[in-house]
Amino acid sequence: MEFSPLVEQLIESLRCLPGVGRKSAQRAAFHLLERDRDGANELANALQKAMAEVGHCQQCRNYTEQDLCAICQSPKRSQATVLAVVESPADLMALEQSGQFNGLYFVLYGHLSPLDGIGPEQLGLSLLEQQLAKGQIEEVVLATNPTVEGDATAHYIAEICSRHSVKATRIAHGVPVGGELEYVDGTTLARSFAGRTSMS
């Protein structure tokens, strides 16, 4: 026996969420049905709107529902000469919250990983090159995660920078090796940002 068709469908659909198996999906479905139907309806609307309208900024690839994200649109920052390259929007947010950076960003959505079929194209590196070709950016801060893949990606991008005569720097140690940027406290991030070293 199974639950009623719509309940089954809800349970199965909830499994699209990361780390949610059958049991947690069932718990979530019952929680919503029993205690938070308004919240569930709001979630449904938020999902539909976000999936339909949220795309990537045409300049930095950050999530936005407009052509350019709020940072690229900001008059204070659009003329910045420093650009930070991060692996994810969550990393971008972590740097913003450290309060140490007022420049532009570029979001890779991952790192080079040939075995998973993630190469320069998947990371949008031709868009980054277009940015560098404009001549406004003088320094690229490589703020990828301090992992083997993050380091390799940073080196790859540093070479692109040197072809465009743009200085490439790497955020300093301070971020624990093997850790994830997103989970580092603001002070550590700020120190690692301040202590960045030249890569080219």
C-alpha to C-alpha distance for 47 and 24, rounded to whole angstroms? 19
Listed ranges 25-33, 117-125, 137-145, 190-198: which one lies at the site for its own copies (CB under 8 A): 25-33
Task: List b or e across 98-136, with b for residues whose CB sees 16 or more CB atoms inside 10 angstroms.
Answer: beebebbbbbbbbbbeeeeebebeebbbebbeebbeeee
Closest residue by Cα to residue 169 from 143, 147, 150? 143
| Inter-CA distances, 141 with 28, 66, 131, 196, Å | 41, 25, 14, 8
22 binds, among Zn ion, its own copies, none (CB under 5 to 8 A by kind): none
Question: Is 62 one of the binding residues for Zn ion (CB under 5 A)?
Answer: yes
21 binds, among Zn ion, its own copies, none (CB under 5 to 8 A by kind): none
SS3 state of residue 92: helix
Where in 78-137 is the site for its own copies (CB under 8 A)?
Answer: 88-90, 93, 96-97, 109
Question: Is 22 one of the binding residues for its own copies (CB under 8 A)?
Answer: no
Listed ranges 28-36, 66-74, 77-85, 180-188: which one lies at the site for Zn ion (CB under 5 A): 66-74
Residues 6+ apart with CB under 8 A from 44: none
Listed ranges 30-38, 132-140, 142-150, 172-180: which one lies at the site for its own copies (CB under 8 A): 30-38
SS3 state of residue 54: coil
Residue of 11, 28, 57, 142 interacting with Zn ion (CB under 5 A): 57
- Site of interaction with its own copies (CB under 8 A): 1, 3-7, 9-10, 12-14, 16-19, 24, 26-34, 36-37, 39-51, 53-54, 63-66, 69-71, 88-90, 93, 96-97, 109
